[in-house]
A and B are shown apart, each in its own frame.
Chain A
Amino acid sequence: MRRLPPALILGAVLSGAFLIIALISLVWVPYPVDGVSIADRLQPFSLAHPLGTDQLGRDVLSLLMVGSQTSIAVAILAVGIGMGLGVPLGLAAAARRGSLLDEVIMRGNDLIFAFPSLVIAILITARYGPSATNAILAIGIFNIPVFARVARGGALPLWTLDYILAARTAGKGRIRISAEHILPNILNLLIVQATIQFSLGILAEAALSYVGLGAQPPTPSWGRMLSEAQTMIYTHPMLAVLPGLAIVLMVLGLNLMGDGLRDVLDPRLRRGRT
């Protein structure tokens, strides 16, 4: 058995820990996150409140736990939208390389890429109102061209291989070949890209929540915790440091996992390293 790269193990442990925390918070949290109690506000770390309380007396640990749900849910759905639409588009473009369809798809991608993503996300939420759903849509749309390009780029060299010609002489159509032969052979590229997009999604969700365009109160979110702590950064720095640390660790974990997966799954890089 080949040894896995340490980056992959560390990244998987970090990301896995956050996933477990999010799952636990679905059934149990130390304190309800809508439990405002001004009497308990701004408490330091203690046994009752391991990570203290915020300016409204809510338990910070509970907020962070439930906040991870928001981050992960938004990122998963956004990556899902990106993959679900982007990969078929990319495969279709590769299957009809150089055709009008290819041009339309790829130039459409360029169009989306040309806009600064956060500005468009702000536009969408400004027009349709801030909500987690709109944040998901906004982030998801920008994942489409990323996956379309990765899928097309991975598929193009495969289309010239003999086994694809053999499948064509076996009377298989382009859609069927894309599904049976191309997709399984570019899956490794897509998995790596998904991990990276997932971490970018978490960052984007935090950014949107920070400016108030993501999940709305009382749903806790790491980005909004950051923005609420901003005014108290000198008096109670931990309120800003903790959600910031959560974002950093989660994104770091996902990036490490993405890099590690790439090393394991991409045979070209693997050969270069051994």
Chain B
Amino acid sequence: MIALDRLSLSIHGQPILRDVSLDIAPGEIFGLVGESGSGKSMTALALMGLLPTGAATTGRASLDGTDLLSLSEPALCRLRGNEIGMIFQEPMTALNPVQTIGAQVAETLTIHGKADATEARAIARDRLDRVGLKHIPMDRYPHELSGGQRQRVCIAAAIALHPRLLIADEPTTALDVTTQAQILDLLRDIVADEGMSLLLITHDLAVVADMADRIAVMQTGEIVETGPTKTVLARQDHPYTRALFAASSHQPDRATYPDPAPLLAVENVTRSYPGPRQGFRRSPPLHAVDGVSFALHEGESLGLVGESGCGKSTLTRAILGLDPIQGGAIRLNGTPVTPQMPRAARADIQVVFQDPYGSFNPRWRVERLIAEPFHLLPDPPRGGDRRDRVAEALTAVHLSPDDMHKYPHEFSGGQRQRIAIARALITRPKLLVLDEAVSALDVSVRARILDLLAELQGEFHLSYLFISHDLTVVRAITDRVLVMQSGKIVEEGATEAVFTAPTHPYTRTLLKAAPRLPDHIGGSHDTLV
């Protein structure tokens, strides 16, 4: 039905896609897998005729014989939404914040002249019911819904006109695992019911392994392997496919130090916010962290798992001594952790954040960025001494000492995360808090960063508090794990034990929801990229 035949694309002379060929049959789910920059999103935009200016294409992209590349803009407008629907990664920005959800779903219908305003509203209601939003009135605004509900609204708008192809570009990447499972179920259902085709674009092999009938693996603008999902997963003919698999389930080699000395003690910590104002009164305070206790031992790697809104970020900020706590105590080596704690005590605990782009002042050079925590030391090294220490930290994270003269924008995402680790290591801390530190990275980059973390842990005898929503990663790098739900720790135990035999129902839900690669396949660890 929809076919790409040796489609090549360049933007301002820069080649983006090379000879991409694929075809999707009606009612089929086709998975397009690749890392960032592989050209998977551009392939989708080419199908929609939404390429940026300066794009030049060769080859063919056709929908039932109609050449999409030669269509005029008005013809494309009739096609979009009508024949091809699309949903995006970020459901908040894909919806207009000042329009009701009903209006946004109805809009697709009225624009294409398929219904007048009243009919459109009726159909929109029907479509919203179809995506599981029966209980949500049409006059709600996007901000009143949760992330998963917003993505459902996007799906309702995309399928309003029963398009024949639905393109989903990373539809669940911004969502929690349990929500992700629900959205994927919904997409699978809709495809079966409506007989439409689904082009599912994702970086997550586990998602397509579960969903797609056929998949194509993309690398730097080319499809390197394609075929029925089972065959591709089982055979892994192309080395890149093997590398991707290996990286997805990568297990770094870690030496563990069973050392009973507690380093960080969190005792019955409560963190609450004042309730919203109601007239002159306030409703009762909201407990973001509610009586949490745990201990982290020297040389240990402890995972903290939970979905968004469970309070793990709030707890992290309290452990870093950035926010005051309302009850309980946090002690690092016996010293209380508070926003007023002495600077020297802070040197023992450092942090690596998720976003490799927002973590650095864009106007500073790497040397100054990495040296910033020296502010904590009573006698910070200066001049050549300082440069030596920065060079040492850069070498430790496998970057070149010469990199200290560059600006952060000159580095890739993975390299920036290495710089962030170097900055965290510069004061030789005992505890490193890794706040979703690998969540924004591609799988192959992520595997290398996990290796680095394992290596540094051995070298510097570090303890890690590893906060993540990604269960695979937590399983790969931690000794013990805490599962957090609505401000409370609901399960705690040795990582393998919790993952193989979870006792709390919430942990079971989480583990069940997480998409997994089939066990019997997947490359061995030494074929790493």
Residues of A within 8 A of B (CB): 161-163, 165-172, 180-181, 184-185
Between-chain CB contacts (< 8 Å), 21 pairs:
A161-B358, A162-B353, A162-B354, A163-B358, A166-B359, A166-B420, A167-B372, A168-B322, A169-B346, A169-B350, A169-B351, A169-B373, A170-B373, A170-B375, A170-B376, A171-B346, A171-B375, A171-B376, A172-B372, A180-B361, A184-B363
What is the bound-complex CA distance between A165 and B350, given in angstroms?
A: 11
Contact check, A169 vs B322: say whether CB atoms are below 8 A apart. Answer: yes
Q: Considering residues B353, B354, B355, which has the most beta carbons from chain A within 10 angstroms of its beta carbon? A: B353
- Given A162-B353, A165-B353, A166-B353, A185 contacting B346 (CB threshold 8 A): no
B423/A166 in contact, CB under 8 A: yes
Nearest Cβ in chain A — how far from B224, in angstroms? 32
Distance, CA A165 to CA B354, complexed state (A): 12
Contact indicator B358/A170 (Cβ below 8 Å):
no
- Chain A residues with CB below 8 A from B353, complex form: 162, 165-166
Which of the residues A163, A165, A180, A181 comes within 8 Å of B322, measured between beta carbons? A165
B53 to chain A, nearest CB (A): 9
Q: From residue 316 to 362 of chain B, which have CB atoms closer than 8 A to chain A?
A: 317, 320-322, 343, 346-347, 349-351, 353-355, 358-362
**Most chain-A Cβ atoms within 10 A of its Cβ — which of B347, B362, B374, B375?**
B375
Q: How far is the CA of A161 from the CA of B358 in the complex (A)?
A: 6
B372/A170 in contact, CB under 8 A? yes
Task: Give the residue of A162, A163, A172, A181 whose beta carbon is less than 8 angstroms from that of B375.
Answer: A172
Shortest CB–CB separation between residue A257 and chain B, in angstroms?
Answer: 23
Binary contact readout B187-218 vs A (1 if CB under 8 angstroms, 0 otherwise): 00000000000000000000000000000000
Residues of chain B from 354 to 398 with CB closer than 8 A to chain A in the complex:
354-355, 358-363, 372-376
Contact check, A185 vs B322: say whether CB atoms are below 8 A apart.
no
Is the beta-carbon distance between B350 and A185 smaller than 8 angstroms?
no
Complex interface: chain A residues within 8 A of B343 (CB): 171
**A185 CB → nearest B CB, Å:** 6
Looking at B322, B347, B351, B372, which has the most chain A CB atoms within 10 Å of its CB? B372
Number of B residues, CB within 8 Å of A: 26
Which of chain B's residues have a CB closer than 8 A to the CB of A171?
343, 346-347, 373, 375-376
Residues of A within 8 A of B363 (CB): 184-185
Q: Please tell me if the beta carbons of B358 and A162 are within 8 angstroms of each other in the complex.
A: yes
Tell me whether A165 and B351 are in contact in the complex, defined as CB-CB below 8 angstroms, given that A184-B363, A185-B361, A185-B363 are known contacts.
yes
Asked if residues A162 and B359 are in contact (CB atoms below 8 Å), the reply is: yes
Q: Say whether B361 contacts A181, CB under 8 Å.
A: yes
Q: For residue B473, give the distance in angstroms from its CB to the closest CB of chain A.
A: 19
B373 contact set on A, CB distance < 8 A: 169-171
A165 to B372 alpha-carbon distance, docked (Å): 12
**A165, B423: Cα distance in complex, Å:** 13
Q: Could you say which residues of chain B place their CB within 8 Å of the CB of A180?
A: 361
Contacts of B420 in A (CB 8 A): 166
**Could you tell me if A163 and B359 are in contact, using CB atoms closer than 8 angstroms?**
yes
**CB-based contact B361/A163 at 8 Å:** yes
Report the minimal beta-carbon distance from B355 to chain A, rounded to whole angstroms. Answer: 6
- Contact of A162 with B355 in the complex, beta carbons under 8 Å: yes
Distance of A161 Cα from B362 Cα, bound (Å): 12
Q: Are B362 and A185 in contact (CB under 8 A)?
A: yes
Distance of A81 from chain B, by nearest CB (Å): 27
Question: Which residues of B lie under 8 Å from residue A169 when comparing CB positions?
Answer: 320-322, 346, 349-351, 373
Q: Name the residue on A nearest B408 (C-beta).
A: A163
Cα A169 to Cα B353 in complex, Å, equals 12
* Residue on A nearest B376 in the bound complex, by CB: A171
Q: How far is the CA of A1 from the CA of B335 in the complex (A)?
A: 54
Nearest CB of chain B from residue A271's CB, rounded to whole Å: 12
* Least Cβ–Cβ distance between B426 and chain A, in angstroms: 9
Once the chains are docked, how many angstroms separate the CA of A185 from the CA of B364?
10
How far is B350's CA from A185's CA once the two chains are assembled, in angstroms? 24
Q: How far is the CA of A185 from the CA of B317 in the complex (A)?
A: 24
Write out the residue numbers on chain A whose beta carbons fall within 8 Å of the beta carbon of B374: 170
In the complex, what residues of A have CB within 8 A of residue B351's CB? Answer: 165-166, 169
Whether B372 pairs with A166 at a CB distance below 8 angstroms is yes
A112 to B360, CA, bound (A): 37
CA distance A166 to B375 in the complex (A): 12
Give the docked Cα–Cα distance between A172 and B339 (Å). 11
Docked CA distance A180–B363 (Å): 10
Within 8 Å CB of B362, what residues of A? 185
The chain B residue with its CB closest to the CB of A181 is B361
Residue on A nearest B433 in the bound complex, by CB: A169
Cα distance, A166 to B361, chains bound together (Å): 10
Q: How far is the CB of A80 from chain B (nearest CB, A)?
A: 24
A172 to B347, CA, bound (A): 12
- Which A residue sits closest to B53, measured CB to CB? A274
CB distance from A70 to the nearest CB of B (A): 37
State in angstroms the CA–CA spacing of A180 and B361 once bound together: 9
Nearest-CB distance from B152 to chain A (Å)?
28
Bound form: Cα–Cα A178–B317 in Å: 20
